[in-house]
Amino acid sequence: MADPLMELSGVHFAYDGASPVLAGADFRLDAGQRVAVVGPTGSGKTTLLHLMVGLLRPTAGTIRLFGRARHEESEFAEVRGRVGLLFQDAEDQLFCPTVAEDVAFGPLNQGKKRDEAVEIVRRTLASLGLSGYEDRVTYHLSGGEKRLVSLATVLAMEPEILLLDEPTTGLDERTVGRIVAILSHLPQAMVVISHQKDFLRQVTQTTVHLRDRRLTPGETGPAAP
């Protein structure tokens, strides 16, 4: 059996002075696997994604990415181009003056030449129905448009793992359908958080429940409620 892309073993986490969010959480993500993480509001789903990419550090336990345990910032920084995180709040993802600059930021930092980055921006925006948005001022976009541009910044880096935190928030039904079509044809492994059950059924294969500070496997097949 091939090694997992990501593995969490006995992970504990608590914010300073607060009750534990995770207490002995275990999780495994294999190549091509699409997992929905479901649980009540405030159960720690977003915290879990931030631990996976090293924005937070566990108080105990181990996080392994691509076959190596990751503990220090330098070890997580090494793989962040391979793990794309879509933040729950688009304002946390967008920081450049224009859409094109935001989407090009990741590819340029991966070492792509400027003309390559320009083509990646064009192609990625077109796939999301955002052709012609290159010179739009990010600050002036609607909430739904910001959500789509945020997703574009993640997809432009072509990561091996996608961590998607409420990817359809603020989007209309037609745009959600476009997102479903895009995600369904991507080869990447995914961990997806969403309160939209129909969306999860269409884009994920298995469900993990975050309950009582642990992760409990759910049914195999389209994500269960």
What does the pLDDT profile of the chain (225 residues) look like in tens digits? 678 999 999 999 999 878 899 999 999 999 999 999 999 988 999 999 999 999 999 999 999 999 999 999 999 998 988 999 999 988 889 999 999 999 999 999 999 999 999 999 999 999 999 999 999 999 899 988 999 999 999 999 999 999 999 999 888 898 899 899 989 989 999 999 999 999 999 999 999 999 889 999 875 555 444
- What pLDDT score was predicted for residue 144? 87
User: Is residue 113 a part of any domain in this protein?
Assistant: no
The answer to whether 14 and 20 are in contact (CB under 8 A) is yes
User: Is residue 15 a part of any domain in this protein?
Assistant: yes
- What pLDDT score was predicted for residue 1? 66
- What pLDDT score was predicted for residue 104? 97
User: Is residue 20 a part of any domain in this protein?
Assistant: yes
The answer to whether 168 and 132 are in contact (CB under 8 A) is no
- What pLDDT score was predicted for residue 175? 87
User: Is residue 1 a part of any domain in this protein?
Assistant: no
- Domain with 55 in it: 6-92+160-220
Task: Compute the half-sphere exposure of residue 137: CA atoms within 13 Å on the CB side of its CA.
Answer: 2
Domain CATH code at residue 209: 3.40.50.300
The Cα 55–Cα 48 span in angstroms is 10
Q: Quick check: helix, strand or coil at residue 206?
A: strand
- What pLDDT score was predicted for residue 219? 58
71 to 20, 84, 131, 163, 197: CA distances (angstroms):
20, 18, 40, 19, 34
User: Is residue 112 a part of any domain in this protein?
Assistant: no
Write the DSSP symbol of residue 137.
B
The 10 Å CB-count burial string (b at 16+, else e) for 49-74 is: bbbbbbebebeebebbbeeeebeeee
> What's the domain count of the chain?
1
User: Is residue 86 a part of any domain in this protein?
Assistant: yes
User: Is residue 129 a part of any domain in this protein?
Assistant: no
Q: Please give the distance of CA 200 from its chain centroid, rounded to a whole number.
A: 14
User: Is residue 99 a part of any domain in this protein?
Assistant: no
Sign of the dihedral defined by the CA atoms of residues 73, 74, 77, 82, in that order: negative
pTM for the model stands at 0.92
